[in-house]
Structure 1
Amino acid sequence: MRSFFSALLLLLLSVSFSFSQSTAKLYINASDPRVTISRHIYGHFSEHLGRCIYDGFWVGENSSIPNKGRIRLDIVEALKKIKIPNLRWPGGCFADEYHWRDGIGPRKQRPTMINTNWGNVTEDNSFGTHEFLELCDMLGCEPYITGNVGSGTVSEMNNWVEYLNFDGQSPLTTLRKENGRNKPWNVSFWGVGNESWGCGGNMTPEYYVNEYKRYATFAKNYPNARLKKIACGASDGDYNWTDVLMKNVGTRMWGLSLHYYTVPKSWSDKGSATSFDEKEYFTTMKKCLFMDELVTRHGTIMDKYDPDKRVAMVVDEWGIWTNVEPDSNPAFLYQQNSLRDALVAGTTLNIFNNHADRVRMANLAQTVNVLQSLVLTQGNKMLLTPTYHVFDLYKVHQDAKLLPLQLNVPDYQYGDQKMPAVNASASVDSTGAIHISLVNLDAAHTIPVTTTISGSNWHTVEGQVLTAAKFTDINTFDQPGNIRPVPFSHARKEGDQLVANLPPLSVVVLTLK
């Protein structure tokens, strides 16, 4: 008899353990939200690289594609829909070989240059300062300009700031008016160089500190245009770079950048954007989750010198980087965009949201036809990628208040490796609506999530889900709607709790009112 009860107890424990390992529990504190999720976390990046600007935003002079002053209108409307808050330009590595005066004035008189970073193609400078800022005006977003520290001069950057932001009389403001712009643009976000540890000059952090101070000193504030200067920060886990910058620059910068790319395999063979197995998918998502450790550890160093968190962490290059598409120019970094990319985007944005006390700006690389794009174009055709749809779903978090959460989730296991199967973030907007974004990384299992919310008396739930049958699924120009958000009907209120069943490989956003 004893052996029977022992066996029964073991069976019950086994069932209980199995149940606990296949379900997730989420606890959200809505009692006293204080931290704002800055809308600038949802920023984007457009470099003079491949077909991002030319044959992306910027169409031919006599193009039949609907445009305004050569700026492609279907892309503009798509980006306005997701409330793009800022756009970084002109690079990237290109920024440190770009001389802004070459891109102003009558287009036929602008000198050409060679884009040595991205394929040695000829840059005709037809898309320059005025064109970029007209694009930002059309998008209703803030420009984020990266100045040339690598091959430029202090005077060059100082003059660019004056050309854009001074409203008085000077030779530069006269030149601006002659070029068609009477009033200043009042650009506040300025990057002082890009990747100065690499393509921006191969500098040591100690050397860059002095360069930053010199350039930043002469980048002047003007009335209605107080600069938010962003120093070049670390690549990946270079924690020493962050320490040196925080120790020697500290709060004399508005923000400090961080760059990290999710590379599925290795830098020598990054892996295909569309052809990969579960092992490679698993490895990719585990590398994506490493962003949380990077933000935490760099943030801890920043806290040591800046406990009040006055300096923003600016993750102004992030995303998945794969091999280019077959038969495309290897220097143009054109890659397709699968459901895996959407899961990378949703997971990364959840990480940024949950670190919103320090991460106050970020820029996905890049907006059109380059790396993890929002938009792909082919002649007059345009498609919205799975990544675009994540930004559309997550726009509810922009400038909402972060709701702290605790998450107890099962593991997603592959071989002897494992990682959390579910990640999430939550916020409350100005109307009192609560938004919860959840990502199920598990490739095979639906995961029930039971959520307890303290400090909120909610009554209804509705949601949307982005998913597909396979992590390799993509949108194509012939079938642009393969992967798109659809209404989510597997969430309900049970007593005081929210219960949702997350499909495998899914991004779900719920709204509680």
Structure 2
Amino acid sequence: MITSFRLIVALAVFLAPLLLSAQTARLSISLPDSSHRISRHIYGHFAEHLGRCIYGGFYVGEGNDTIPNTDGVRNDIIDALQELQIPNLRWPGGCFADTYQWKDGIGPKDERPEIVNRWWGGVTEDNSFGTHDFLNLCERLGAEPYLAANVGSGTVADLTDWVQYVNYQVKSPMSDLRIENGRAEPWNVKYWGVGNEMWGCGGNMIPEYYANLYRQYATFMTDWTNSDRLYRIASGANVADYHWTEVMMRDIPHNLLEGVALHSYSFVEWNDKGSASDFDEAQYFSTMQTALRMEELVEKHSAIMDKYDPARRVGLIVDEWGGWYQVEPGTNPGFLYQQNTMRDAMIAATTLNIFNNHSERVRMANLAQTVNVLQAVILTNGKDMILTPTYWIMHLYKAHQDADYLPIELDNLTYGFADEELPAISASASRDSTGTVHVTLANIALSETHTVSLAIDGVDLSRATGTILTSDRVQDHNTFDHPERIVPAAFTGMEDGDGGLQLTIPPFSAVVIEIPGS
């Protein structure tokens, strides 16, 4: 009997570490002597002329007496985006960009022609929000403008005139026109998309044709003195079209190319996207599968780019990403208005961690879209405005902007559904200019609370504090009646463990841990 008891005790002592390991994810972070930075531009946004993103979203008109605004742009939106420290804003599309004639949106507003937005709802727009409105908005936000140029239906001359209009200090026909329209100093726009989705709404082109067209447009965008001021971004692949990236990197001289784009959305099924807020676990799992596929996409597109650009001078620009579902009942199908739940928070948290961990190649990304469209950070209804769970993820993660990347090693757990599995924990880390370390983690499991053992050599973890975004149901979301149902709160699931911190993270929750520098 005593022998049996001793055997049981011995087995328990032997098995205890294995059982703990099976139930605990282990996250180790190293502090290298030197590291690249996580570009703040990974935390960019996207504002297309689509639904109520611009008109009825950002822009309510200069004559609006009921909604406080500056030159027609809502003050509450400006304040909210300034709080996010958004680094860049992409405009005017999207598909809209490749039918947009920029000269229709300058000059006296009562003289501007009306247009039909053929891509999104067939609505008529009056061009009252144009180049000056957008670039002045970016100045107020402290964000770099990212202009998407019309290559699909425009001309080389149209684009070169636009560059001249917004960037030239010296006397020229377009700088004179800008001054005539009330702006003396140029805006010095750096980021330019040379077309959008050229494989689709930009013209249904094959990559070899578009690569030659890109070379032509990119050549005439600059003169011989200002080429180093422009960051030209080629229209990139649709999800896993690796041949497209191959052709862009192979056929475009790298002195004409600063970035190659990539577009990928998260959804249940492309032809049956499901509800934004009324979904089951099967739909949640499927959506997270497509979101986490971003890791594979970034790795494989980066490998192709590495072959042609081993020094990684050309950036991978993921300038459209986010969740895409059916529109809210009773709304215009062409307006892409959808609610934003804790599922979207998980998409944002895991995707941003992926970008951070691949930030040697990923230089910019743009969440689609900023206001009232797809995975928006802001929703408006008349004079009311709410901040979505995705907004709060971007708020938690903003500490990574321009911070030094810290390599991680993650011994992960799994989240299973039916006969499939996904990694349950997502994480990334950085150290800012003050020496403060930030670690962002997400537990995507729908019902399991998971423990993460965090170890960072050379860092006093006893000074760590945390913030969490969580809720009772993954379908929970903020509404105009309950705008603060989901907001960040202090994270209390943290205690000293063996050689580090033990973090207890509830299901479908995101956490940021902050450890001050010495």
What is the TM-score with the length of structure 2 in the denominator?
0.96
**Alignment partner of 1:245 is 2:259:** no
RMSD: 1.8
Does the 8 Å contact 1:48/1:90 carry over to 2? yes
Higher mean C-alpha displacement, 279-288 vs 64-73: 279-288
Please, which of 340, 343, 346 is the counterpart of residue 343 of structure 1?
346
Does the 8 Å contact 1:47/1:366 carry over to 2? yes
In structure 2, the CA distance between the partners of 1:459 and 1:7, relative to structure 1 (3 Å rule), is closer
Please state how far the C-alpha of 1:492 moved relative to its aligned partner: 3.3
Deviations 1:38-70 (A, max 9, x none): 000000000000000000000034321000110
Does the 8 Å contact 1:233/1:242 carry over to 2? yes
Does the 8 Å contact 1:20/1:410 carry over to 2? no
Q: For residue 304 of structure 1, what is the aligned residue in structure 2? A: 307
In structure 2, the CA distance between the partners of 1:85 and 1:263, relative to structure 1 (3 Å rule), is same
Deviations 1:166-195 (A, max 9, x none): 111112111100100001100010000000
Counterpart CA distance in 1 for 2:343 and 2:37 is: 28
Does the 8 Å contact 2:444/2:507 carry over to 1? yes
Does the 8 Å contact 1:250/1:306 carry over to 2? no
**Alignment partner of 1:39 is 2:40:** yes
Q: For residue 376 of structure 2, what is the aligned residue in structure 1? A: 373
Counterpart CA distance in 1 for 2:40 and 2:213 is: 30
Please state how far the C-alpha of 1:32 moved relative to its aligned partner: 2.1
Q: For residue 280 of structure 1, what is the aligned residue in structure 2? A: 283
Q: Match for 2:39: what amino acid?
A: S
Q: Match for 2:202: what amino acid?
A: G
Counterpart CA distance in 2 for 1:470 and 1:253 is: 45
Unaligned 5+ runs, structure 2: none
SS of residue matched to 1:54? coil
Please state how far the C-alpha of 1:485 moved relative to its aligned partner: 0.3
Please state how far the C-alpha of 1:372 moved relative to its aligned partner: 0.1
Please, which of 100, 103, 106 is the counterpart of residue 104 of structure 1?
106
SS of residue matched to 1:451? strand
Higher mean C-alpha displacement, 14-23 vs 204-213: 14-23
In structure 2, the CA distance between the partners of 1:3 and 1:237, relative to structure 1 (3 Å rule), is farther
Please state how far the C-alpha of 1:223 moved relative to its aligned partner: 5.1
Counterpart CA distance in 2 for 1:110 and 1:79 is: 29
Please, which of 130, 136, 142 is the counterpart of residue 138 of structure 2?
136
Q: For residue 67 of structure 1, what is the aligned residue in structure 2? A: 69
Q: For residue 296 of structure 2, what is the aligned residue in structure 1? A: 293
Q: Match for 1:206: what amino acid?
A: E
Q: For residue 468 of structure 1, what is the aligned residue in structure 2? A: 471
Counterpart CA distance in 2 for 1:455 and 1:87 is: 38
Counterpart CA distance in 2 for 1:225 and 1:163 is: 18
How is 1:153-172 mapped onto 2 (pairs within 5 angstroms)?
153-172=155-174
Counterpart CA distance in 1 for 2:128 and 2:329 is: 29
Please state how far the C-alpha of 1:280 moved relative to its aligned partner: 1.3
Does the 8 Å contact 2:461/2:501 carry over to 1? no
**Alignment partner of 1:262 is 2:266:** yes
Please, which of 91, 94, 99 is the counterpart of residue 92 of structure 1?
94
What is the TM-score with the length of structure 1 in the denominator?
0.97
Q: For residue 50 of structure 2, what is the aligned residue in structure 1? A: 49
Counterpart CA distance in 1 for 2:344 and 2:218 is: 36
Counterpart CA distance in 2 for 1:437 and 1:276 is: 26
Q: For residue 444 of structure 1, what is the aligned residue in structure 2? A: 447
Q: Match for 1:56: what amino acid?
A: G
Q: For residue 423 of structure 2, what is the aligned residue in structure 1? A: 420
Q: For residue 183 of structure 1, what is the aligned residue in structure 2? A: 185
Please, which of 103, 112, 115 is the counterpart of residue 113 of structure 1?
115
Counterpart CA distance in 2 for 1:91 and 1:156 is: 16
Unaligned 5+ runs, structure 1: none
Deviations 1:262-318 (A, max 9, x none): 012x22211110011112111211211100000000000000000000000000000
Q: For residue 406 of structure 2, what is the aligned residue in structure 1? A: 403
Does the 8 Å contact 2:212/2:252 carry over to 1? no
**Alignment partner of 1:213 is 2:215:** yes
Counterpart CA distance in 2 for 1:250 and 1:16 is: 55
How is 1:137-152 mapped onto 2 (pairs within 5 angstroms)?
137-152=139-154
Q: Match for 1:144: what amino acid?
A: Y
Counterpart CA distance in 1 for 2:152 and 2:183 is: 28
Please state how far the C-alpha of 1:4 moved relative to its aligned partner: 8.9
Does the 8 Å contact 2:464/2:515 carry over to 1? yes
Please state how far the C-alpha of 1:14 moved relative to its aligned partner: 7.0
Q: Match for 2:278: what amino acid?
A: S
Deviations 1:371-412 (A, max 9, x none): 000000000000000000000000000000000001001111
Deviations 1:5-35 (A, max 9, x none): 9888887777655432221101101132411
Counterpart CA distance in 1 for 2:13 and 2:325 is: 46
Q: Match for 1:94: what amino acid?
A: F
Counterpart CA distance in 1 for 2:460 and 2:13 is: 36
Deviations 1:195-241 (A, max 9, x none): 00000010000000111000000101565971100001101000000
Q: For residue 488 of structure 2, what is the aligned residue in structure 1? A: 485
Counterpart CA distance in 2 for 1:280 and 1:12 is: 42
SS of residue matched to 1:436? strand
SS of residue matched to 1:284? helix
Does the 8 Å contact 2:455/2:501 carry over to 1? yes
Q: Match for 1:217: what amino acid?
A: T
Please state how far the C-alpha of 1:468 moved relative to its aligned partner: 0.4
Deviations 1:86-125 (A, max 9, x none): 0000000000000000000000000111111111111210
Q: Match for 1:300: what amino acid?
A: A
SS of residue matched to 2:393? helix
Counterpart CA distance in 1 for 2:171 and 2:162 is: 15
Please state how far the C-alpha of 1:79 moved relative to its aligned partner: 0.3
Q: Match for 1:52: what amino acid?
A: C
Deviations 1:413-466 (A, max 9, x none): 112111111010000000000000000011112211111212434540001000
Does the 8 Å contact 1:394/1:437 carry over to 2? yes
In structure 2, the CA distance between the partners of 1:224 and 1:250, relative to structure 1 (3 Å rule), is closer
Q: Match for 1:296: what amino acid?
A: E
Counterpart CA distance in 2 for 1:141 and 1:426 is: 24
SS of residue matched to 1:500? strand
How many residue pairs get aligned? The number is 512
In structure 2, the CA distance between the partners of 1:3 and 1:238, relative to structure 1 (3 Å rule), is farther
Q: Match for 1:42: what amino acid?
A: Y
**Alignment partner of 1:429 is 2:438:** no
Counterpart CA distance in 2 for 1:3 and 1:17 is: 21
